[in-house]
Each structure stands twice: as C-alpha cells, then as structure tokens.
Structure 1
C-alpha cells in the first residue's frame, strides 16, 4: 500500500486538497476525505466546490442519501461508502485503513501534527508491503521531497 505524506507549511487542508482530489478524479478514482471536526469537513467541501472553473470537484459530506454516488465523500471516519480506493486524512491524524480497503492513503498534516506524522512514517516503514513518500508545496504544486 502507498502512503503519501503532505506537509502543509501554510494554509489549511481545504486549500491543499483540491489539486490532490483533482488528480484522483483524473485517474477515474474516487476519494474518501476524513476529518474529525465537522467545521473542517464543511470548509473542505466548500473549497472543493469552488476550486476553480477549470476543475469541477463535486463532493458530498457523509450522511446524505447519495453517499455511494459521490466521487469525493467527506466523512468523520474511515468508511468508504462511495467505494473510494483513495483515502485522504485531512486533519493530520492517522487512522488505520481497513486491510485491502484502499490503494493509497494521503496524510495531510501541518506543523502541529509533524511529530505524530514522523512517528506514523516510522511505523509504516516497518510494515510489510507499505511504501512511503513525502511531499511539500513549491508554489502551487506538490513536489516529492526525498
């Protein structure tokens, strides 16, 4: 399984997720975005809806009648009701994905979660079958760093 770590050096996850979600949709994939706080889930949803005219990022907040149809579902926990194979942990808190539920996990974290993200990195590197990559923003693009 692939785990990608995305360091937010400025701004919140709602701004950083649009390009990541767009890439998932370009591949024909579906994305589950997890954030524990209801306000964060709403901010993420609004940011994705207004990502720009060149990219339409339709999404829904979990708990609605059409969760299974959402290309991007925003939820408080790791329950891929939309059949997502990509998981974005938008609040910097690691949550164990179910065995075989996802192909790729994106951990989006800021300075406050940096120590916990390093611990998660070390843990995953000891697990069989996990590959980890680290990304930071350069301008408006995410680039792999090391």
Structure 2
C-alpha cells in the first residue's frame, strides 16, 4: 500500500483535494474523504461542487444519500460505505484504520506537522507500506521530499 503525506503550504486541503479526486474518478476509482471537522466537511463538499467550471465531482456526505453509490464519500469516520480503496485524511489526524486501504492521502498543515511526523516514523519499516512525503510551496506547487 502507498501512503502519501501532503504538507499543505499555500492552499488549504479544500483547494487541492478536488484535483486528486478528479484523477481517481477518471481512473474509475473511489475515494473516502475523512475529517472529523463538520465545518471542513462542508467546505470540501462545496469545493467538490465548484472545482470544475463545467461540472461537479460526484460525491455525497455519509448518511445523506445512497453511500454505496457514491464515487466520493465525505465522512467523519474511516468507514468506506462506498467501497473506496483510496482514503484522504483531510483534517491532519492520522488514523491507523487507513492502513486497510490501497492508498492513503494524509493532508496536514503546519499546526499538525509534529503529529504527521510521528505517523511517518510509526510507519517506518512496516511491511508492505511505501511512504512518500510531499511539501506544497506558497504558489501551490508540490515537491517530493522523501
């Protein structure tokens, strides 16, 4: 499995997540977006509606519609009711339940960098886990650091 750590810099997760979600949707993959922050769930929901001028990214909030039918499901828990094999941890909090997915996108900002580093160290040497660390500059460009 692959775990990508994304240290946010110039843009919040609501602005970067739609591009990753679009690539997954284009490859017929599903995504579970996890954040315990309800206000952040609302911002991500809105961003997925407006990310592309010509259309929206198909999604729903957990428990609001037919969860199993949703290509992108926004939830407060690591529960892939949509059968997603990809999970985005959007609120900066690492959750070990994410290790049951094929790919994890762990987003964090400067306030949660210490916790992210602890999660990075905790995954070191774990069988079958490939880690990558990305840093975003002020312009929004990503650079792979590890």
TM over 0.5: yes
Aligned-CA RMSD value: 1.7
C-alpha distance after superposition, 1:62-121 (max 9, x if no partner): 01231111110000010000000000000010011266x410011000000101101100
Partner of 1:117: 116
Structure 1 unmatched ranges of 5 or more? none
Residue 53 of structure 1 and its aligned partner are, at CA, apart by 2.2
Contact kept, 8 Å, 1:31 with 1:88, in 2: the verdict is: yes
Does 1:8 pair with 2:3? Answer: no
TM-score norm. by structure 1 comes to 0.91
Aligned residues: 145
Separation in structure 1 between the aligned mates of residue 54 and residue 6 of structure 2, nearest angstrom: 23
Point out 4+ residue stretches in structure 1 off by more than 6 angstroms. none
Which structure 2 residues correspond to residues 64-143 of structure 1 after superposition, within 5 A?
A: 64-97=64-97, 101-137=100-136, 139-143=139-143
